[in-house]
Structure 1
Amino acid sequence: MFGQNFITDKNLILKIISLLKNDGNTLVIEIGPGQGALTTTLAKQFAKVVAIEIDRDMEEILKSKIKSDNFELIMDDVLEIDFAEMLQKYIADYKNIVLISNTPYYITSEILFRAFEISPILSQGVFMFQKEVAERICAKVGDKKYNNLSIATEFYAKAKYEFTVKRNMFNPVPKVDSAIVSLDFNENKIGDVKNALEFVNFVRKLFNNRRKTILNNVKSSIQGVDATKLLEQCEINPQLRPENLSIDDYMRLYKRIK
Structure 2
Amino acid sequence: MNLTNIGTVKDILSRHGFSFSKGLGQNFIINPDICPKIAENGNACEGFGVLEIGTGIGVLTAELAKRADKVVAVEIDERLLPILAETLADFDNVKIINEDVMKCDLHRLIDEEFAGLHVAVCANLPYYITSPIIMMLLESRIPIDSITVMVQKEAAQRLCAKVGSRESGAITVGVNYYGTVKNLFGVSRGSFMPAPNVDSAVIRIDLSKEKRLDEDSEKFFFKVVKAGFSQRRKTLANSLSSVMGISKEKVYSALKVQGLPEATRIEQLDMDKLIAVSAELMKQ
Note the alpha carbon deviations across 1:103-123, whole angstroms, 9 max, x for none.
001111111112112445010
- In 1: Cα distance, 2:78 partner to 2:187 partner: 27
2:256 to 210, 232, 247: 232
2: CA distance, partners of 1:18 / 1:88:
24
User: Which among 190, 204, 212 is matched to residue 191 of structure 1?
Assistant: 212
More moved, 142-151 vs 119-128: 142-151
1:72 to 95, 109, 118: 95
TM-score by length of 2: 0.84
Question: For 1:84, which of 107, 126, 144 is the aligned residue?
Answer: 107
Residue identity opposite 2:215 in structure 1: K
128-137 vs 108-117, which deviates more? 108-117
TM-score (norm 1): 0.92
**Cα deviation digits, residues 6-36 of structure 1 (max 9, x gap):** 1101111111111022451101000001100
Take 2:150 and 2:208, find their aligned partners in 1: how far apart are those partners?
20
Between 1:177-186 and 1:62-71, the stretch displaced more is: 62-71
Q: Residue 275 of structure 2 aligns to which amino acid in structure 1?
A: M
**How much has 1:88 moved relative to structure 2?**
1.8
Identity fraction in percent:
32
- Is 1:45 aligned to residue 98 of structure 2? no
Matched AA of 1:237: P
Query: What is the CA–CA distance in structure 2 between the aligned matches of 1:213 and 1:62, rounded to whole Å?
Result: 51
SS class of match (2:215): coil
What is the 5 A alignment of 1:72-221?
72-90=95-113, 92-94=115-117, 96-186=118-208, 190-195=211-216, 196-221=218-243
Equivalent pairs counted in the alignment come to: 256
CA distance in 1 between partners of 2:173 and 2:231 (Å): 16
Q: Which has the larger radius of gyration?
A: 2
Q: Does 1:6 align with 2:28?
A: yes
3-state DSSP class of the match of 2:33? helix
Q: CA deviation at 1:91?
A: 5.0
RMSD: 1.8
Pair 1:41–1:242, CA change in 2 (3 A): same
Structure 1 segments unaligned to the other structure (5+ residues) = none
* Structure 2 runs not aligned, ≥5 long: 1-20
Q: Tell me by how many angstroms 1:247 deviates.
A: 1.4
Q: Which moved more, 1:79-88 or 1:170-179?
A: 79-88
For residues 23 and 62 of structure 1, do their structure 2 counterparts lie closer, same or farther at Cα, with a shift above 3 Å needed?
closer
Letter of the aligned partner of 2:132 in structure 1? E
CA contact (8 A) 2:49 2:69 kept: yes
* Partner deviation per Cα, 1:129-152 (whole Å, 9 max, x = no partner): 111111111111343321111111
Aligned to 1:250: 274
Query: 1:187: how far off?
Result: 6.3
